[in-house]
Amino acid sequence: MSKYDSKFYDFFTHPDSPELMAAGAKKYGYSGIVVTNLKANEGIILPDDFSIYKGVEIQAKSSRIREEIKKHRDSNIITIVRGGEEDINRASVESDGLDILLQPSEFNNVLAKAASDNSIAIGLNLGLLIRLRGDARVRELKNMRIILKHARKYKLKMILTSDSSSVYDLRSPREMVALSSLFGMTPFEAIDAMSITPENILRRKSPDYIKEGIEII
Amino acid sequence: MKTLPTLREKKRYIAFEINSGMAIIRQELVREISNSIISLFGDKGASEINPSLMSFEGRFGILRCAREKTNETRAGLACINNIHGILVSIHVLGISGTIKGATEKFIQQSLVKESEPEKRIKK
């Protein structure tokens, strides 16, 4: 059994046409995507063995972020915060109920510890590597190395996303593994970041889930 | 002059497919591939990878690279997102040791796979 046989998910897409995106993702070997700008789930024809999950990108001031996350806490919507300045990162890792903090800059041990306590996955945005060139890409690669270092030390969950707005931004899992090797991620870590971590988040969001370690028999 | 077999450079052939809205011109693809690899790995890295486009027709193509550098080449191809203003994504179908292998195993296979669903409808 090859290590590429597991199910892969892309957890941050915002396409104009979810149908085209689903067909493209299925062709590339994904078994599910999270769409953050999904309006209505009805009327979308999906390929076999493929599912679209609803997500939301929370954009707010650092003082309001906690309340925004609380709104979606008990729903099955996957919450994503696009990381940035220190205060946004800090507010989001300290609020219980967030699923993914995407590409935080200036990541440090305090943030890593808080994220590990609240079991928040750290997203690495490979779309930036695809779209940026030159200095900006160097900065992001450096940033990703720092995140990876902290994630290994504090055993944080990592997620690889493509941040794609059209089917042309999407890359197949093997390409994502090759891109993640640019900043020192091993293939096994990268595959876990695309299959096991997303599955855990989906399991946590399913209605049957009560609390870690408890299940109805 | 013919080089000794043991001194020959070991190479791999990458079969790929281009997803794009419009047709791509070969020269522009070649330029974009070398641009992308040079911007990612620098001149030294690009010389080690030694990429060269063997054939390209419409959607499918075969790229040659050094045997040890297939992963880097894959990353270089993945970083291409537009060719002369046309949005594209390059999908690697497979890697083989011979041009014949790459063509038969990956490019013809994927053409066969595409025509299969139509057959099913006819039944």
ipTM of the complex: 0.86
pLDDT tens readout for residues B10-41: 999 999 999 888 888 999 999 999 999 999 99
The answer to whether the CB atoms of B92 and A175 lie below 8 A apart is yes
3-state helix, strand, coil split of chain B in percent (to 5) is: 50, 30, 20
More confident of the two residues A142 and A49 = A142
Q: Which residues of B touch A (CB under 8 A)?
A: 19-21, 39-40, 71-72, 74-75, 77-79, 81, 87-89, 91-92
Indicate the pLDDT class of residue A52, thresholds 50, 70 and 90: confident
On the question of pLDDT at A40 being above 70, the answer is: no
Over the stretch A176-188, which tens digit does the pLDDT of each residue have? Answer: 999 999 999 999 9
Per the structure, the count of domains in chain B is: 1
- Name A56's bridge partners: A79
Shortest distance between the Cα of A29 and any Cα of chain B, in A, equals 11
Total length of chain A = 217
A198 in a structural domain = yes
* Residues A183-202, mean pLDDT to the nearest whole number: 90
Q: Is A152 helix (H, G, I), strand (E, B) or coil?
A: helix
The pLDDT value recorded for residue B122 is 44
B110 part of a folded domain: no
Is A131 in the B-facing interface, judged by CB distances under 8 Å?
A: yes
Is A136 inside any structural domain? yes
Q: Is residue B43 part of a domain?
A: yes
Check CB contact under 8 Å for A24 and B19: yes
Structural domain contains residue A183: yes
Q: What is the CATH number of the domain that holds A150?
A: 3.20.20.140
Is the per-residue pLDDT at B121 higher than 70? no
Q: Tell me if B120 is assigned to some domain.
A: no
Query: Token digits for B112?
Result: 């066969």
Please, are residues A32 and A51 in contact by the beta-carbon 8 Å criterion?
yes
Residue A215 lies in a domain: no
DSSP A214: B
pLDDT band at B118 (very low <50, low <70, confident <90, very high): low
In a domain, A212, yes or no: no
Give the residue from A131, A138, A172, A177 with the most B CB atoms within 10 Å of its CB, the best one to mutate: A172
Are residues A172 and B91, on separate chains, in Cβ contact within 8 Å?
A: yes
DSSP secondary structure letter of residue A186 = -
Rounded Cα distance between B97 and B123, Å, is 38
| Cα–Cα distance measured from residue A13 to residue A127, given in angstroms and rounded to the nearest whole number | 10
Residue A43: give the domain boundaries.
7-205
Chain A residues within 8 A of B19 when measuring between CB atoms: 24, 167-168
- Name the residue range of residue B85's domain: 9-101
What three-state secondary structure class fits A76? coil
Q: Which member of B21, B39, B71 has the closest CB to residue A133?
A: B39
Query: In chain B, at which residue ranges do the beta strands (DSSP E only) sit?
Result: 11-20, 52-57, 60-66, 82-83, 86-96
Kindly identify which residue of chain B lies nearest to residue A168, measuring between CA atoms: B89
Evaluate whether residue A26 is within a structural domain: yes
CATH classification at residue B14: 3.30.70.3250
Does the structure show a pLDDT above 50 at B123? no
Interface probe for A, chosen from B81, B82, B110, B116 (most Cβ of A below 10 Å), is B81
**Domain-located, residue B54:** yes
